[in-house]
A and B are shown apart, each in its own frame.
Chain A
Amino acid sequence: MNFSPHSIQPSRFFILLAIITGVAVVLGSIGWPTNEPSHKVVKDELVRKKAPDFELKDASGKVVHLSDYKGKVVLLDFWATWCGPCGIEIPWFTEFQRKYKDRGFTVLGVSMDDGGWKDVKPFVAENKINYQVVLGDDKTSDQYGDVEALPTTFVIDRQGRIASVHVGLVDKKEFDDAIQKLL
């Protein structure tokens, strides 16, 4: 197949180019999630969008806002106890919390368990989760683009903007690289 622009009229070639560019821009602007490792560790600063603030409770009933962590790099993990792939990532996040917490980093887990703390508390204890966990709700899920597939993880920069999104189980290195880039 010959895709050379010389084989078609220039105006048509540019129309085609415009369509393809348009599709790419639209997909890029809605944060098109893919399972493939992104070529960029984090999005360019200019295209990062503000992470929606929320108000959720931790196991002690304390209200937690995302904005409480402003100035820190936050790894925001939507997960559930019944989600096998989430269970693989949690030890990584525990390690990141230990490794980077003194450099202005934190992990915040948002559990999407319908069963609430009776399911989540034992899991947190059993897996020695060393970061704050809150119970998620539909409103927060909707704010973050109707999070349905778990795990879905957002890496948020110090200015509270979403620097990368990871849907499904990805490589540990993808998170590590993103965190290091933002610290």
Chain B
Amino acid sequence: MRLVEAIRRSEATGPTAMFLVLLAVVIALKGGRYSLFDAQNLAANVLPLALVGLGQYFVILVRGIDLSLGPVMSVSSCLAAVLFPYGAVPAIAAAIAGGVAAGIGNGLLVAWLDLSPVIVTLATMSVWQGVSLVVLATPGGTIPAGLQMALTAATVVVPVPILLLIATALFGAWVMSTRLGLHLRAIGGDAGAAEASGVRVRRQRFAAYALAGTLAALGGLYSAIATSAGSPIIGDSYILPSIAAVVLGGVPLIGGRGSPVGVVMGALTLNIIGSLLYFANLSDFYQSLINGVILIAVVAAAALRSWVWRAVPA
């Protein structure tokens, strides 16, 4: 059956399965009580991570990394909180523009000027951190409660957060189905061969960073709306998880392959593990510890697997 074959071959299957298993565990721990409301909450909680994770995915796909995506989220979160009194449109536009600008900045430095992504994004991280502090020094600001309700609690046939999550996954899948997606995979697989084959490597790499910045901004925007407040430090807790979501989504750090839907599943998985912590009655202090362990464990597992099959290079 073609559908079965497609599922078997898809790179999103593993992460999806992992998420479903963990979800089942959580449901069991809750005594089988899992309502649409719970699913809605899960989606609302995960959406920012899914968005920034998707952005990180595009960058990792081309063998890069963007450590500044966290502060970019903070910037858009603060811009939104500060500008909403002037209207929803300017607030949202500014928030997104901030992300685009960040992405363009990183893209120019890494893709066109060939600077190392690690040090560049560490430096721009400081810049965007500063910008968010300038815009809004302490968490607060005004975000209309109505908007919060609309985006987190409302239901249009299906709860809005779930719709948005699905939209995120679909967006990712759409990008990867285009020529851009194909070229990103090519660049990640072998940038030299891609260049020799006529792919505009610099341009596409730049696009990956620009996309990442924009998605991170969307994540920050949603986070601000969902919590009804902007925060200049909201992004700090998203940097490592954004990479973890990508890795959990089955994407290797050397890039070249991986499914965007898998990344969304990775974000869901990471979030669910947080819930499990809650059930295990572990304090919040364990959260970052567990995140770190998961990240290393997943990558180590992949490394061990290839180590078993590895022959000394001939």
Q: Do A and B bind each other?
A: no
Residues of B within 8 A of A (CB): none
